Amino acid sequence: MRNTHNIYVIELSMEVLLKPKFIQSNPFYIWGMPCVYVGMTAYDPDIRFDQHKAGIKCNKFAKEYGMHLLPKLFEHLNPMPYGDAQYMEVDLAIRLKDKGYGVWQA
């Protein structure tokens, strides 16, 4: 298996907390903790972040509220095979939610 994919985490502006859909999906959010978008990509995470911000295959929350990448949360995981990245995207989102982060993972 080739290591072709990366996981990435984008910090979102706290304004995302004004969106009911985001709040509803984060019932255990701890006030003051970061809000993030967790994704996976075949691209370098920096390129993928730029794509979100430019509206290319973007997630609405990442485009509108994305501020910057949080490499300390994902760099040690990358790169990895596609199947591992699929699993790790969900696993990392769950682990961050368990710590009180506000998380969006599509």
Q: Can you give the pTM of this predicted structure?
A: 0.96
The domain of 76 spans 6-104
Q: Is residue 67 part of a domain?
A: yes
pLDDT tens profile 24-54: 999 999 999 999 999 999 999 999 999 999 9
Q: Write out the DSSP string of 17-45.
A: GG-HHHHHT-TTPPTTS-EEEEEEESS-H
Count how many domains the chain has.
Answer: 1
pLDDT in tens, 66-82: 999 999 999 999 999 99
Q: Is position 1 within any domain?
A: no
Statement: residue 22 has pLDDT above 90: yes
